[in-house]
Amino acid sequence: MKEFKHFINGQFVASSSSFENRCPADNKLIGTVYEAGKAEVDTAVKAANAAMKGPWGKLSLNARVALLYKVADRINERFEEFVDAEAQDTGKPKSLARHVDVPRGAANFKIFADVIKNVPTEAFRFEGPDGVQATNIAHRTPKGVIAVISPWNLPLLLTTWKVGPALACGNAVIVKPSEETPASTTLLAEVMNECGVPPGVFNVVHGFGPASTGELLTSHPGIDAITFTGETATGEAIMKAASVGLRDISLECGGKNSALVFADCDLDKAVAGTMRSVFLNCGQVCLATERVYVERPIFDEFVSKLAEAANKIKVGPPDDTEASMGSLISQEHQQKVLGYYELAVEEGATVVLGGGVPDMPDDINSGAWIEPTIWTGLADGARVVNEEIFGPCCHIRPFDNEDEVIALANDTAYGLGASVWTENSSRAIRVSEQLEVGMVWVNCWFLRDLRTPFGGAKQSGIGREGGVHSLEFYTELKNICIQL
């Protein structure tokens, strides 16, 4: 039985309260997770602040960059351990963890080490009307102690996406992983120690959100900024906590993302891409497509091709090498998604595929399994078309022209991502420019260049991270004006 302890000031420590960690693919107990209370959070915050004043705060940029490269290399050396940790905690296929989660976990350290080395700051030469002259030089300093609050869907990927740039910029971090997925962040703590990251620079406190570790951490006055990924409602709570003491926030929140499929698309590419965008990670990706709009002349063909492809998805446990879809994260989430499956029928949907729980072998039958599901025929105002479900499902609706589909895609409180499928590049740009989202993928989806801005419009978030945008958040930019 495993024990997931906090990692504070370079030491693994337990606390008085704990909870179970179960694998959602078979509901078997993985181990015990300790819940950090006020004392542990306080110690972690003190350790992180002390680290900022110690050798870490004085480490040269080159030394910091070398250390982050070492961390990335060590993740790759312990690659299969991270794969196992991620797959057990989430129920996702190991093949997925090998292709997406763990490689990105390592890349997030290297890329941001490179960014910090290569991004210049601005300088202005000033000449006043009275002949006074000055040179202005911008200078970046770390922001301080950053709280990183992570979700469960891509635990290592999304935690390191914040920790990588935060450390590259010279900050100290306290990570609060999701209560559902403590394993990969705990393993990352071991890696930090193995690589010689100084005590207090990287800390982990486990626990829940409201009235628990998450709230204690985000409301702690010793935290200088909070970076959060998760639900919009949680983002609102964190924003309130951050307002005390005017701490900076970066919020990456929910989505109800659309795919716009035009009749002039390459249909096979659009079907294959939509298969990924709807069903990858059992639909538990913030960028996942839940609303598909297809131009009427190809509507029937698109629906039948997507259903045919989705019908071939093999659902299975992490070790099943033929399975392309795992379980949902928990039985609680399974009930939520099933609730939407029932609601879709009540709201008048035609169920093209799925809509229930698959029959699984006895030994894993208590896992959080769910069928890939496709609906048509819902009204635009239906809750299923408007609320984030976070499961392997989508509604497909026909449209007749560009203006109509842009209005449909934008008719949502969210604004995270969209994908546009067309072989007409003028249309691709024209449509993309009008979509009220942070990211548009044309003839692809979730193709990530980590130098590009990532984040959401409307209720999908505040701020952008990625490349230089991460530096904007994780550093304080100071102007030094030198009169000549």
Active site residue 286: yes
Contacting range for ligand NAD; rule: CB under 6 A; set: 65-73, 192-200, 223-231, 265-273: 223-231
Report the residue from 150, 324, 412, 470 that binds ligand NAD according to the rule CB under 6 A.
150
Neighbours of 231 (CB within 10 A): 16
* Min separation Cβ 122 and ligand NAD, Å: 29
Q: In sequence order, what are the beta bridge partners of 293?
A: 260, 397
Which residue, 399 or 454, has its beta carbon nearer to ligand NAD?
454
Smallest separation (angstroms) from ligand NAD to the CB of 150: 6
Provide the minimum distance between the beta carbon of 168 and ligand 6OD in the complex, in angstroms, as a whole number. 15
Name the nearest CA neighbour of 278 among 317, 307, 318.
Answer: 307
Minimum distance from CB of 286 to ligand 6OD (Å)? 3
Residue 278 interacts with ligand NAD (CB under 6 A): yes or no: no
Which one of 195, 253, 286, 393 is the catalytic residue?
286
Least distance (Å) between residue 92 CB and ligand 6OD: 12
Give yes or no for residue 179 binding ligand NAD (CB under 6 A).
yes
* Residue type, position 480, single letter: I
Active site residue 252: yes
Asked whether 164 and 227 are in contact (CB, 8 A), the reply is no
> Which region among 125-133, 212-220, 293-301, 344-352 touches ligand NAD (by CB under 6 A)?
212-220
Residue closer to ligand NAD by CB (options 67, 157) is 157
Shortest distance (Å) from residue 287 CB to ligand 6OD:
5
Query: Quick one: which segment of 125-133, 232-240, 260-268, 363-371 binds ligand NAD (CB under 6 A)?
Result: 232-240
Count of residues binding ligand NAD (CB under 6 A)? 32
218 or 376, CB closer to ligand NAD?
A: 218
Nearer CB in complex with ligand 6OD: 114/402: 114
Cβ nearer to ligand 6OD, comparing 219 with 284: 284
Phi-psi region of 386 (alpha: psi -120 to 50; beta: other; left: phi over 0): alpha
Q: Minimum Å distance from CB 469 to ligand 6OD?
A: 11
DSSP for 444-461?
Answer: -SS---TTS-B--EETTE
Beta bridge partners of 259: 292, 419
For residue 81, what are the CA distances in angstroms to 4, 97, 144, 279, 319?
15, 11, 31, 25, 14
Q: Are 449 and 458 in contact (CB under 8 A)?
A: no
Check residue 416 for interaction with ligand NAD (CB under 6 A): yes
191 binding ligand NAD? (CB under 6 A): no
Residue sitting closest to ligand NAD (CB): 209
**Separation of alpha carbons 484 and 139, rounded Å:** 18
Q: Which helix (H) or strand (E) holds 77?
A: helix 61-77
Using rule CB under 6 A, residue 390 touches ligand NAD: yes
Going 406 to 411 to 417 to 418, the CA torsion angle's sign is negative
* 63, 137, 479, 140 alpha-carbon torsion, rounded to 10°: -20
CA quadruple 41, 45, 46, 51: dihedral, nearest 10: 140
Closer to ligand 6OD by CB, 229 or 274: give it.
229
- Buried residues in 315-349 as b, exposed as e (16+ CB within 10 A): bbbbebeebbbbbbbbbebbeebbebbebbeebeb
**What does 161 interact with, of ligand NAD, ligand 6OD, none (CB < 5 to 8 A by kind)?**
ligand 6OD
List, in sequence order, every residue forming a beta bridge with 249; answer none if it has no partner. Answer: 226
Asked if 215 touches ligand NAD (CB under 6 A), the answer is: yes
- DSSP class per residue in 104-131: HHHHHHHHHHHHHHH----EEEEE-TTS
Residues making contact with ligand NAD (CB under 6 A) = 149-153, 158, 176, 178-179, 208-210, 214-215, 218, 229-231, 234, 237-238, 252-255, 286, 388, 390, 416, 456, 460-461
| Catalytically active residues, by annotation | 252, 286
